[in-house]
A and B are shown apart, each in its own frame.
Chain A
Amino acid sequence: MPLNIVSLVSVGRHPQSGRERRAEQDGRAVELGMNLEASQSASMTVLHAGRSVEPVLRNYAGMGLPSLEVLELSEQDDAVPSLAQYLKASDADIVLTGVRAESGESSGMVPYLLAEELGWPLVPRIADIVSINNGVAEILLALPRGQRRSLSVPLPFVASVDNAAPAPRQSAYGPGMRASIDASQVTAVTDSAREQWQEAPAKPRPKRLKVVKAKTAADRFKAATAKPQGKAGKVMKNESAQEQAQEIFNLLLEEKVIK
């Protein structure tokens, strides 16, 4: 039986311009799905809960998708009930999502809520699906700084795709414009809790300064007169190579990159 994959996509947000775009992780979810399509003869549905006229959907389609499914919802609606309903009715084996949406609440709860609703395992932050044999997938989890953990998980499951997964392929204009976007009407549930919230552009959070808890007057004096951590770094010109290397090595130890 061919494997059924559903990749969920949302409207991303460019960090600099704030403009809508293909979300980084959702794009990776689609990429992963496409790769499984090729290697496992799986079939993938790309699903969006939102407005079907959303131009960003064309960016996903441009990866070479013949079509996208849309559950027609407005911006105030809660996507989870409709998605859950859709997935329950589908025969999906794998549901792929991003870790956290780039727009809206960005809570990262969607995969968890879906997994809970479906009663499936949730595999967080995956870097790759290495193989699927006899209904069991071997998955690589992304750990910080390029480390990986290997898991085996029985189908069906929900997985959120980490930035460490293979980057999504380029989106091409032609296929993006040609793809069909199939919208279906669903009963919308308004996210009423959210209506009570107040949203404002993010206030800058000052980075915490290294507070010197001065215990003595001398410490206080030192803290007050110490050169502020300015731009210029330390330059070792006349020291011997041995001394220089020691200083570098100490910094590496201090930074804990050498253990």
Chain B
Amino acid sequence: MSGETNSYEIVRRDPRAEWIARNRLHPLHGTISVGEEAEVRGPSGLIRKNPHKVGFIGPNGIKRIDRLKGNAAAAATGRRSGGAAQEVQLPLHKVENPDFSIFVVPDMVGGRLTSQDKDILGQAHKLARSDDGESAVQGVVVAVVFGELKDDSLDTAGVDRLIHLDGEEYQGYCPEQQLTALVHLDATYNPQNWLFPDSVHGGTDLGSRLAARLGERPAVQAWQVDKKTTVCRGASGSTDISRPTPRILLLAEECADPIDETRHEVQPIELGSVPRVISRMQDMGQVSVDPNAIPLAEAEFILSAGNGIHNWDQFHEAAEALGATEGASRVAVDDGFMPRFRQVGATGTWVTARVYIAVGISGAIQHMQGIGQCDKVIAINTDAGCDMVKRAALSAIGDSEEILAELLKLAREHKAGQSEGGDQNAA
């Protein structure tokens, strides 16, 4: 890290880390990192400052030392935007000689950890920790990642060891090959537990396959797990089943808090050869689905038109540019501007979109029934008093045509920016 950037950096304190550093009896005491940055932890764990590196150049060109130790948020805000704020270096959690291992197979959607993956790594550490007082055993958390890996936050997410399998046999859809690898790993490392996210992104499937192959009875939709007991949801989420914690766990979202105060080694484990299987299921690739062909009920992002749309060509263009699935109020359907299967509401489709933009829709109760499950509703309407605006997380009061025109522009600029490969439009 160069002094130049340092000169604009704000020193941030991590009171907990400092406390751990001071407290020699703390289990994490040894893991607190010793960096070579401006803030340096001395052998005692206390932060030592290198006065030559600390501080910033004031407006008049004179170097100033921040004696407020980073607590001067107010004083600093003006400058924060100037330089990239440096994240505080978290203490490194090291596992030298683990007594056992917890294997986690994260979903890694698009090569990145999902929030559920992070929860499960958090859960893994709860199981790996020797906090029951009696024994001083220590587990290690091993992540098994298939295919593409883009995430550079595995360390802060809690991965002690990493097994990365990305040979060509792991490209595309290959659960049979993945299963073979997991079975191989199971035989090689005999992990204490296998943890999978119970998710539609593949975790449930892989976990179930492994359980069936190993003849283990997994806990699914597990949401409260310790070393002895697991509570999982049964009967489509209507009951809690308490049972001894099994070897294989399919964990629900938010089963545990993600790791956020330590760094981990992400030490790669090199494997010898993993057996290969001839896949019976042949992947013919993902079918490209036009957003408008997605069944309304499944669509994630809907742009919906009502009686307040007057320029229909523009509406369709906007939907296309934004990549949204089109929806409509009944009036728009009745008036013949939209086909019937696009109708959202009591007598149309009940949608589950995460984001629903209602353009010129007043919010009649019959329409609202259809969007009850939508997460974020955005209203575009001339009438600030209408029910849709009351429901919306964000409302733009104004003429639909004007606002859609601007949105259309933004969407096109964004696309253009993307296709140039740059992110000049990101700001």
Contact B233 A106 (CB under 8 A): yes
Contact A108 B220 (CB under 8 A): yes
| Stretch of A54-62, A65-73, A171-179, A235-243 on the interface side | A235-243
A200-B239 in contact given A246-B410, A255-B354, A255-B355 (Cβ < 8 Å): yes
CB nearest neighbor in A for B395: A235
Q: How far is the CA of A216 from the CA of B68 in the complex (A)?
A: 11
Quote the shortest CB–CB distance from A220 to chain B (angstroms): 10
The residue from B223, B280, B301, B384 contacting A153, defined by CB atoms under 8 A apart: B280
Q: How far is the CA of A237 from the CA of B397 in the complex (A)?
A: 5
Q: What chain B residues lie within 8 Å of A217 (beta carbons)? A: 71, 73
A148 within 8 A of B: yes
Range of interface residues on B (Cβ < 8 Å): 35 or more
Q: What chain B residues lie within 8 Å of A234 (beta carbons)? A: 393-395
| Stretch of B134-142, B159-167, B201-209, B262-270 on the interface side | B201-209
B99 within 8 A of A: no
Range of interface residues on A (Cβ < 8 Å): 35 or more
Q: What chain A residues lie within 8 Å of B397 (beta carbons)? A: 235-237, 244
Contact B212 A116 (CB under 8 A): yes
Q: How far is the CA of A233 from the CA of B395 in the complex (A)?
A: 7
Contact B241 A199 (CB under 8 A): yes
Contact B399 A241 (CB under 8 A): yes
Quote the shortest CB–CB distance from A97 to chain B (angstroms): 12
B238 within 8 A of A: yes
The residue from B208, B234, B406 contacting A112, defined by CB atoms under 8 A apart: B208
Q: What chain A residues lie within 8 Å of B364 (beta carbons)? A: none
Contact B384 A149 (CB under 8 A): no
Q: What chain B residues lie within 8 Å of A249 (beta carbons)? A: 407, 410-411, 414
Quote the shortest CB–CB distance from A39 to chain B (angstroms): 20
Q: What chain B residues lie within 8 Å of A233 (beta carbons)? A: 377, 389, 391-395
Q: Footprint of A on B, CB under 8 Å?
A: 12-14, 70-71, 73-74, 88, 173, 175-176, 200-201, 204-205, 208-209, 211-213, 217-218, 220-221, 223, 233-244, 254, 257, 260, 280-287, 289, 294-295, 298-301, 322-325, 354-355, 357, 376-378, 380, 384, 389, 391-399, 402-403, 405-407, 409-411, 414
Q: Footprint of B on A, CB under 8 Å?
A: 13, 15, 18, 100-109, 112-113, 115-116, 121-125, 138, 140-141, 143-154, 157, 164, 193, 196-203, 205, 207-208, 213, 215-219, 233-237, 239, 241-242, 244-249, 251-252, 255, 257-259
| 7 closest cross-chain pairs (CB), A and B | A146-B294, A245-B406, A218-B73, A244-B396, A112-B212, A257-B301, A146-B298
